A and B are shown apart, each in its own frame.
Chain A
């Protein structure tokens, strides 16, 4: 076995030292061949290399460098080719992840009662359901095959004070080529219990006549839930990629109805959204009837579907809604990512009277009003998208004012989950009374802001597209990405020029990126 004469940490230290010296601008190191180029102006080869890394995620080949020997100006032509490639779309999508934060892997989509636990004997059961099924907590079934009466009833034996059945063998949906032994009560497959409870719902989780359903479709095991979370994040990447890949106007990100689902997502939307914990994707944000006929195992198969007119591209993408679970958070992220603004109150001393204010309307409450006067009407644009979830509150089913909810709130009767969750039913102050029975997004809305709830996030975004704020922010974000530094006051004129060209191109992202990569600014590196 050949062994290196150079110890790895030794090499690392040598190069780290050199990098630090070069970075510190130590005079004798600056001109060294072991330090980066001291010249600000890049050679055509280094320019090509930088552009290739930014636009394709890799360095040029020898053949590509060879083109420059005869034609040093060929860089621009190659940049154009790369901008039209899938590799560029991939890089642009990667950049947009930093704006969208579309990772929902920490979001719990399914109720804990859907979890299958492995008994040391090797079979599976749901720990949270043992009392429901067997009359005793923490009690699994017996490690033996289940027995059934002629009518299909599961037969049990009284053991240690519990009604205990045996197990059956099942091929779970997430691993159809595997056979799992699952306690017979947990593996029940009926759709509706004898008491009329749909088994694939939260209510069904408490019904002893309901189980995990065919192929355990109402339960989770292995990586099944994580696969859905990962897919929801990737679906947003694909939505962004679809717009940028077509070189459609950038503002289509806020308008597109294109959406992509794979096997786990189709399965989840079809079978599992009613088994929620706290985060709900009900009423379904996607047209369930239009979902493609994919198996769970089709993780790499992505099918495009069209969403309803109420959708607003990335701003109502389930990953966006689940990553930012309050309407304020949704508006705030839009402000940060697409307007390059943040909500920060000025440094103002409040009077004692202001501090004592209990005004429930944050738009007028001293101190809060600096941000919330703008934030609250903006957040109302997501008023028909459920907080703590990604459900869509269709106006036909969820009118702006619900008389039932108003009546229960005013009479003190129990209002039910829908009223309590989506309508104003708690009167905490006299100021709330005017909004009883109204959809929560209408609370404290000024009359001229009420339309925001029904217009949705597309209206909000397109307003800022129209006044140029989005264009300037996108140009700034993109330049920051490609230059590797924040822009300063010295860049204002250049940024204004970029923005203008971006707008005149009808928001073609490739044009913006091309303008930056072929600029003098990009060709100088420090």
Chain B
């Protein structure tokens, strides 16, 4: 069963990486829930009228005539000119110097200090410790050497590669903190909560509170990734799908939220910047 669910989750994530999002069940722009006449879908079937367009149509640019070919071709029928002025000179350098590239930063993996502190910021204080959800020495500290922190005797450079070993420990860390976080937050339905969007019940599902689910995903992605998505942004969709997949498989919304939380913390937009 566990293997099946793992494969399901993996399949959901991988499917989301493809350009065609299989299911689109997002709320209406403006935050309203999809209508009951087919706006919510399940595994069994996708209501055609609920499938939105994920590829946003780009409106024509009014300044350029809207989608017409704006390439300027020289008029070869012009008579020769003896004024010394090139009649084909449009004033545009045909071989311009490339614009100076201002350069860029390289995306980096967080170090162990950043990971420990950032997870605590995301979860409202829950860190990765020996006993999930309880205070104690950070396991990131204990694993510092394994996770690349140099001792400046045998190793003088920090290894910030997102290796398989790193992912293994991030998996351990995110499972631990997400379990504690969701359990804790399931009992908090007030404004002090840090996981669910205000007013959203812990047992909400896409069927019972579509907007609430999306608002919670929206909040999580801001807290964990620093992405501020509108409620109708297609970027929220796969996360809601992942939640729904697990709820469908287990019947327990908390498991769905935990899966989403784990996915958020293991996402490169969390652990790298």
Residues of chain A touching chain B, judged by Cβ–Cβ distance below 8 Å, are 2, 4-19, 21-22, 28-29, 31-37, 40, 43, 45-46, 48-50, 53, 57-62, 65, 68-69, 94, 97-98, 101-103, 105-106, 323, 482-485, 490-491, 494, 519-526
CB of A5 within 8 A of CB of B150, answer no
List residues of B (4-18) whose CB comes within 8 Å of A's CBs.
Answer: 5-7, 9-10, 13-14, 16-18
CA distance A70 to B19 in the complex (A): 33
CB of B5 within 8 A of CB of A43, answer no
Is B199 an interface residue when CB atoms closer than 8 A count as contact? no
Give the chain B neighbours of A98 by CB distance below 8 A. 150, 152, 156-158
Chain A's closest residue to B16 (CB) is A34
CA distance A358 to B265 in the complex (A): 63
CB of A49 within 8 A of CB of B167, answer no
Q: Which one of B9, B168, B223, B226 has the greatest number of beta carbons of chain A within 10 Å?
A: B226
15 intermolecular pairs with C-beta atoms under 8 Å apart = A6-B6, A6-B175, A10-B7, A13-B10, A33-B16, A34-B17, A34-B263, A53-B118, A53-B273, A58-B114, A58-B117, A98-B150, A483-B104, A519-B102, A524-B105
Is B212 an interface residue when CB atoms closer than 8 A count as contact? no
Give the chain B neighbours of A53 by CB distance below 8 A. 110, 114, 118, 273
A355 CB, min distance to chain B CBs, angstroms: 33
Is B179 an interface residue when CB atoms closer than 8 A count as contact? yes
CA distance A57 to B167 in the complex (A): 20
CA distance A72 to B117 in the complex (A): 25
A32 CB, min distance to chain B CBs, angstroms: 4
CB of B121 within 8 A of CB of A61, answer yes
Is B228 an interface residue when CB atoms closer than 8 A count as contact? yes
| Pair count A-B, CB < 8 A | 207
CA distance A57 to B174 in the complex (A): 19
| Known pairs A34-B267, A103-B152; A45 contacts B105 (CB<8 A) | no
Give the chain B neighbours of A16 by CB distance below 8 A. 162, 164, 167
Chain B's closest residue to A31 (CB) is B19
CB of B17 within 8 A of CB of A4, answer no
CB of A48 within 8 A of CB of B226, answer yes
Q: Given known contacts A5-B1, A43-B228, A525-B107, what 13 new A-B pairs fall within 8 Å (CB)?
A: A10-B9, A13-B10, A13-B167, A32-B17, A33-B235, A33-B239, A36-B107, A36-B272, A45-B226, A46-B227, A57-B114, A98-B152, A484-B106
List residues of B (73-131) whose CB comes within 8 Å of A's CBs.
Answer: 101-108, 110, 113-114, 117-118, 120-122
Size class of the B contact interface (CB-based, 8 Å): 35 or more
| Known pairs A4-B179, A484-B105; A101 contacts B152 (CB<8 A) | yes
B21 CB, min distance to chain A CBs, angstroms: 9
* Binary CB contact string for chain B from 242 to 266 against chain A (1 if under 8 A, 0 otherwise): 0000100110001100110011001
B89 CB, min distance to chain A CBs, angstroms: 31
CA distance A17 to B259 in the complex (A): 17
- Give chain B's interface secondary structure class: helix
B100 CB, min distance to chain A CBs, angstroms: 8
CB of A94 within 8 A of CB of B113, answer yes
B178 CB, min distance to chain A CBs, angstroms: 9
CB of B268 within 8 A of CB of A22, answer yes
List residues of B (204-244) whose CB comes within 8 Å of A's CBs.
Answer: 219, 222-223, 225-228, 234-235, 237-239
Chain A's closest residue to B122 (CB) is A59
Is B35 an interface residue when CB atoms closer than 8 A count as contact? no
Q: Which one of A4, A11, A17, A28 has the greatest number of beta carbons of chain B within 10 Å?
A: A11
CB of A45 within 8 A of CB of B228, answer yes
Give the chain A neighbours of B262 by CB distance below 8 A. 6, 11
CA distance A68 to B228 in the complex (A): 10
- Give chain A's interface secondary structure class: helix
CA distance A13 to B107 in the complex (A): 21
Name B258's contact: one of A4, A49, A69 (CB within 8 Å).
A4
Is B153 an interface residue when CB atoms closer than 8 A count as contact? yes
Q: Which one of B3, B101, B102, B246 has the greatest number of beta carbons of chain A within 10 Å?
A: B102
Give the chain A neighbours of B134 by CB distance below 8 A. none
CB of A14 within 8 A of CB of B268, answer no
List residues of B (142-183) whose CB comes within 8 Å of A's CBs.
Answer: 150-153, 156-158, 160, 162, 164, 167-168, 170-172, 174-175, 179, 183
B93 CB, min distance to chain A CBs, angstroms: 22
CA distance A33 to B240 in the complex (A): 12
CA distance A92 to B222 in the complex (A): 27
CB of A524 within 8 A of CB of B104, answer yes
Give the chain B neighbours of A524 by CB distance below 8 A. 102-105
CB of A7 within 8 A of CB of B2, answer yes
Is B28 an interface residue when CB atoms closer than 8 A count as contact? no
A510 CB, min distance to chain B CBs, angstroms: 19
Is B141 an interface residue when CB atoms closer than 8 A count as contact? no
CA distance A10 to B9 in the complex (A): 9
CA distance A102 to B156 in the complex (A): 10
CA distance A491 to B100 in the complex (A): 11
Give the chain A neighbours of B3 by CB distance below 8 A. 7, 10
Give the chain B neighbours of A12 by CB distance below 8 A. 164, 167-168, 170-171, 266
CB of A525 within 8 A of CB of B106, answer yes
CA distance A103 to B1 in the complex (A): 49
CB of B168 within 8 A of CB of A14, answer no
CB of B269 within 8 A of CB of A36, answer yes
Q: Which one of A5, A46, A482, A494 has the greatest number of beta carbons of chain B within 10 Å?
A: A5
A417 CB, min distance to chain B CBs, angstroms: 29
Name A65's contact: one of B17, B107, B222 (CB within 8 Å).
B222
| Known pairs A22-B268, A65-B228, A521-B104; A8 contacts B122 (CB<8 A) | no
Give the chain A neighbours of B272 by CB distance below 8 A. 36
CB of A29 within 8 A of CB of B17, answer yes
Chain A's closest residue to B270 (CB) is A59
Give the chain B neighbours of A29 by CB distance below 8 A. 17
CA distance A521 to B121 in the complex (A): 27
CA distance A101 to B120 in the complex (A): 29
CB of B156 within 8 A of CB of A101, answer yes
Name B167's contact: one of A19, A31, A35, A94 (CB within 8 Å).
A19
CA distance A5 to B227 in the complex (A): 28
Chain B's closest residue to A36 (CB) is B268
| Known pairs A45-B227, A59-B226; A526 contacts B171 (CB<8 A) | no
Give the chain B neighbours of A60 by CB distance below 8 A. 121, 226
| Known pairs A15-B167, A57-B117, A102-B152; A5 contacts B2 (CB<8 A) | yes
Name B171's contact: one of A2, A9, A35, A523 (CB within 8 Å).
A9
| Known pairs A45-B227, A61-B121; A8 contacts B250 (CB<8 A) | no
B183 CB, min distance to chain A CBs, angstroms: 8
CB of A50 within 8 A of CB of B171, answer no
| Known pairs A32-B17, A33-B239, A65-B222; A494 contacts B103 (CB<8 A) | yes
Give the chain A neighbours of B120 by CB distance below 8 A. 58
CA distance A112 to B77 in the complex (A): 98
